[in-house]
Structure 1
Amino acid sequence: METFQRLFTMARRYYARFIFAAICMIVAGGLQSALPLIAKPAIDEIFMSKNIAALKWIPLAVIAIFLFKGLANYGQTILMSSIGLRIVTDLRNKLYERIQEQSLSFFAEHPTGLLMARITNDVQSVQTASSEAITALVKDTFMLICLVGVIFYTDWKLALIAMVVFPLTIYPISRFGKKMRKVTTSSQVTMGTLNSFLQETISGTRIVKAFCMEKYENVRFAAENERLFKFSMKAVSVNAISSPLMDFLGGLGIAAVIFYGGYNVVQGNSTPGTFFSFIAAMLMLYEPIKRLTNINNTINQGIAGADRIFSIIDLSPDIKDKPGAVALPPVSRGIDIENVTFCYETTPV
């Protein structure tokens, strides 16, 4: 939670852009939710009642919905991408500045490849979470609310049947999110180790060849690469199982709705337009739920990356200037070193 608050603090300076982006997302989500409402008059008035007037305005309404939805999607994509990229730029600058402030002992404890992974891979995961995931989170949440309103407006009894499935989705979303965050952390740590290994072996190629250590280094690299493969496959497995599970749970709700709604149509208690409007809203309802499941995984990946970034930013340099230290003037004639000794532990050199 603390990491999320720190990222939110960094994003707060761009609140004006986010407000306009949120408006675009709300418009896009609302217009998408309006499509099921068009299904009822389209079926009842055009196909059942043969109403010519409805045949004129319904296609125009569909065109208008898709036109303005496209414009809203374009606006929110541009605005949220600029926010995400700006946050990442600021974060990368802070991280690099903090690394430059550290003493040599810091670089001895933190391999080059590990630091490169922080600046590249971890920052990229934060960008994805702060732009794409947040965009989908806001838009899909609003769309979800609108679609729930549509199905209750269309047939509240059918809506109650469909809502029985929703509580079943809460546990998988929470469970997969925690699992994804843990796997992502392990994967990124392994990637940093692999980068460090590559940097050391490639820069030290002459030493490797001088001691005929090619086969030994190949074995080491293969072992680290295999570890990365296993962690990557765990992440793929978590993502892969979440979508089919949501499909199955959604299928249970849709099957119950088709049975009860179809029975009402056969008995004359409902119209085909009402039924298909409800089904359309139901099908659209489960799509944002599925995306929110994947977004939860993406956000956890971003938070895991941000945790590792802030762990570097929060490090204080070992060597600092004392308060009130005198600034040295520019050196013009060189530096004289007197009475200075150097040793390895207790052995003078």
Structure 2
Amino acid sequence: MNLYPRLLQFIKPYWRQIALAIFCSFFVSAAIALSAWIVKPVLDGVFMNRDARLLRLLPLAIIGIYLVKGAFSYAHAYLIRSVGQKVIRDMRNLLYAHIQHLSLKFFNDNPTGALMSRIINDIAMIQHSVSNVISSLFLEIITMIGLAGVAFIRDWKLALIAFMVMPLIGFYTNKLGKKLKNISRRTQEKMATLNAYLQETFVGARIIKAFCREDYVTEKFRVQNQKYYRTTMKGVRADELTSPLVELFASIGIGGVVLYGGYQVVLGHTTPGTFFSFMAAMMMMYSPVRKISKANNAIQQALAAASRVFDLLDTESEIKEKEAAINLPEIARNIVFETVTFQYNSGGGPVLKNINLKVEKGMKIALVGMSGVGKSTLMDLLPRFYDPQEGRILIDGIDIREASLASLRAQIGVVSQEIILFNDTLRNNIRFGRLDATDEEVEAAAKAAYAYDFIIQSAQGYDTLIGDRGVRLSGGERQRIAIARALLKNPPILILDEATSSLDTESEYMVQKALENLMRDRTTFIIAHRLSTVRDVDKIIAMEGGRIREIGTHAELLNSNGVYSRLYEMQYRLQQGNGEERSWLE
């Protein structure tokens, strides 16, 4: 992967600012070179020739030099860092947008914390390089060229002696930079692992405390953190070795200059002013050389981070939309699953096998079966969270793979057992179903979902913040907000995945009432383990081993002595053992 051209593509839109910054750097470098140049007239003119007029002009010259240097240095730094921040902003926006359009399988295969590390930490590493390193790199290179010019003008022989060590500096700097790049990539990977563990343990704080495992998870974190520390210190050793090596080689060059140049002054072949002007230029020049070497290290670290970022940007979604995808019209007739077979991984067996099912518009369909038979997976195929390896799914005779994802998913609403709410207001969580909805429409959806009463009793009403994942709401309240969100979207097709599980009796009653409003006049698929919730549907689909074993009404399947009948009997015995009412079974 050629990283430099790809990084330059992000910098290219801001080339005018970079050009202006380079223009400013010429003035800064000229001021630095001039400060080395005036050493000769100061020594020879003022101190050797005792020129009083030159002495009076000297303070003004020094002030003028540093005034120009300061003004243009500020402008240069501001422009370059501005470009750096814009590049990082653009890169982070692009990466986040790309991740959002990847398939659900990608999110299942990659820990959330690791993805967060790519967006935050990896790009932060690039940010340091683009914002700070490039800022100094342009300036130091031009400064070094200017000071080298002064050195050659003063004494080209001395300059050749001083520059003999430059190939050694370049060789070892490049070698250390490559080593640092490899270490930096491993460091970023360790940080991603650490972030993933942090995210996992913070989300699971309730379970950790319930099992008194605070010390256990803390020790695991300490081990992970120690691995990160060790890898980081390898990078520190490689990075910090650069400056001593540069200074060592520079001292060899300076020693040679002092020896040869000193003899030239003693023999009267050159003046002290010329020699010290040269020495000033050389001493000032080794500082840019050291900074450029450090900048190379930072660039190598940034390239390691960039390779991880571009790896992610190059990841293609498994769910691809055709170039000539059509806008799917609203369902008018039916949904058909034709010989659908699906498996998650190529090494595993099929989760769904030869599924054939036809659902007419407006029907309420229940999918029942033991855990793991493929009920949720089958429903994940309808909005194309996954694509089947064999067979196809048709809406009004149109293969859903021929339709745009936006037009397909606009017709489908999902309410699941695992409610996802955002750390925002109640109003905005409901409005997530349709962003252009008015406040009146949001309120109407809340009323239909039986959420209105508890919303207006909240501290700030609809503007109440509900916390991370809706933690400030009860389970039933979160469920009703999710139903209100689906009502606001107003989709013709609805998927309810265990929507009333894990609720107490009162909450379930309120949620069931809300669901009745939600299901009215919609084609509805209900995934349920509790058979009491699906007695009144139009058809029940009983699944076993990834296949559809039975289709029928509650009464038909109960009399068939098949899969549904066995599930029914199992739940009946469980209810009897718990001493609960059996009226729902009769």
Q: Taking structure 2 as the reference length, what is the TM-score of the superposition? A: 0.57
Tell me if the contact between 2:81 and 2:135 (Cα under 8 Å) persists in the aligned partners: no
Which residue pairs with 1:80 in the alignment? 80
Could you say which residue in structure 2 is the equivalent of 1:332?
A: 490
Distance in 2 (alpha carbons) for counterparts of 1:276 and 1:225 = 52
Cα distance in 2 between the residues matched to 1:9 and 1:89: 14
Compared with structure 1, are the counterparts of its residues 333 and 190 closer, same or farther at alpha carbon in structure 2 (3 Å cutoff)?
closer
Cα distance in 2 between the residues matched to 1:148 and 1:37: 11
Report the counterpart of residue 20 of structure 2 in structure 1.
20
2:66 aligned residue: 66
Within 1, Cα distance between the matches of 2:45 and 2:264?
A: 19
* 1:56 CA displacement: 2.2
Following superposition, the deviation at residue 76 of structure 1 comes to 0.9
- Determine whether 1:160 maps to 2:160: yes
Residue 341 and residue 82 in structure 1: after superposition, are their counterparts in 2 closer, same or farther (change >3 A)?
A: farther
Whether 1:246 aligns to 2:246 is: yes
Q: Deviations over 1:256-290 (max 9, x none)?
A: 11111111111211111111111101101110110
Counterpart for residue 259 of structure 1: 259
Report deviation, 1:342. Answer: 9.6
The equivalent residue for 1:48 is: 48
1:199-218 equivalences under 5 Å are 199-218=199-218
- Conservation of the 8 A alpha-carbon contact between 1:38 and 1:58: no
| Structure 2 CA distance for partners of 1:56 and 1:69, relative to 1, 3 Å | same
Q: Deviations over 1:76-128 (max 9, x none)?
A: 11111111111111111111111111222211211111111111111111122
Three-state SS of the structure 1 residue aligned to 2:121 is: helix
Question: Residues 143-182 of structure 1 correspond to what in structure 2 (within 5 A)?
Answer: 143-182=143-182
Offset of residue 214 of structure 1 = 3.0
Aligned to 1:122: 122
Structure 2 CA distance for partners of 1:141 and 1:333, relative to 1, 3 Å: closer
**How far 1:75 sits from its partner (Å)?**
0.8
Percent identity among equivalent residues? Answer: 38
Asked whether 1:237 is paired with 2:237, we answer yes
CA gap of 1:128–1:68, structure 2 versus 1, over 3 A, is: same
Shift in Å at residue 17 of structure 1? 0.8
SS in 1 for 2:38: helix
Structure 1 residues 212, 137: CA separation in 2 closer, same or farther (over 3 Å shift)? same
For 1:15, give the aligned amino acid. Answer: W
Q: How does 1:298-309 map to 2 (within 5 A)?
A: 298-309=298-309
Q: Please report how far the alpha carbon of residue 341 of structure 1 lies from its aligned counterpart in structure 2 after TM superposition.
A: 6.6
Q: What are the within-5 Å matches in structure 2 for residues 288-327 of structure 1?
A: 288-322=288-322, 323-327=324-328
Instruction: Tell me, in whole angstroms, the C-alpha distance in 1 between the residues paired with 2:182 and 2:202.
Output: 31
1:219 to partner: Cα distance? 2.6
Question: Counterparts of 2:234 and 2:248 in 1: how far apart (Å)?
Answer: 22
By how many angstroms is 1:200 displaced?
0.3
Contact 2:176–2:242 (8 Å) recurs in 1? yes
Deviation at 1:4, TM superposition (A): 1.3
Please identify, of 328-337 and 71-80, the stretch whose mean Cα deviation from structure 2 is larger.
Answer: 328-337
Does the 8 Å contact 1:117/1:195 carry over to 2? yes
How far residue 343 of structure 1 moved from its aligned partner, in angstroms, is: 7.4
Moved more, 326-335 or 45-54: 326-335
Determine helix, strand or coil for the equivalent of 1:50. coil
Residue aligned with 1:258, SS: helix
User: Following TM superposition, by how much is the alpha carbon of 1:242 offset from its aligned partner in structure 2, in angstroms?
Assistant: 0.8
- Give the gaps of 5 or more residues in structure 1: none
- Aligned: 1:282 with 2:282: yes
Q: 2: CA distance between counterparts of 1:161 and 1:344?
A: 84
The CA distance in 1 between the partners of 2:166 and 2:216, in whole Å, is: 54
Q: 2: distance between equivalents of 1:340 and 1:309? A: 47
Q: Structure 1's 117 and 345: CA in aligned 2 closer, same or farther, altered over 3 A?
A: farther
Q: Residue 171 of structure 1: SS of its match in structure 2?
A: helix
* Residues 152, 159 of structure 1: 8 Å contact kept: yes
Task: Please identify the structure whose Cα radius of gyration is greater.
Answer: 2
State the partner residue of 2:574.
Answer: none
Q: In structure 2, what is the Cα distance between the partners aligned to 1:15 and 1:286?
A: 29
Instruction: Between 135-144 and 190-199, report the one with greater CA deviation.
Output: 135-144
Give the aligned residue type for 1:189: E
C-alpha change, 1:344 and 1:232, in structure 2 (3 Å) is farther
Structure having the higher helix fraction is 1
- What does the per-residue CA deviation read over 1:268-314, in whole Å, with 9 as the maximum and x for residues that have no partner? 11111111111101101110110011000111111111111111111
Q: Equivalents in 2 of 1:345, 1:4: separation in Å?
A: 52
Cα distance in 2 between the residues matched to 1:166 and 1:269 = 27
Deviation at 1:197, TM superposition (A): 0.1
Structure 1 residue 334 displacement after superposition: 4.5
Q: In structure 2, what residue type is equivalent to 1:221?
A: F
Structure of greater relative contact order (alpha carbons < 8 Å, 6+ residues apart): 1
Give the whole-Å Cα distance in 2 for the aligned partners of 1:124 and 1:83.
Answer: 15
Contact 2:183 2:235 survives alignment (8 Å): yes
CA contact 1:36–1:281 (8 Å) conserved in 2:
yes
| CA–CA separation in structure 1 for the residues paired with 2:269 and 2:490 | 96
The alignment's C-alpha RMSD in Å is 2.1
TM-score using structure 1 length: 0.94
CA distance in 2, matches of 1:178, 1:35: 36
1:58 Cα offset (Å):
2.4
Once residues 164 and 342 of structure 1 are traced to their aligned partners in structure 2, the CA distance between those partners, rounded to angstroms, is: 83
Deviation at 1:148, TM superposition (A): 1.3
Structure 1 residues 313 and 26, CA gap change in structure 2 (3 angstroms): same
Offset at residue 211 of structure 1 (A): 3.4
Contact 1:11 1:83 in 2 (8 A): yes
The amino acid that maps onto 2:74 is Y
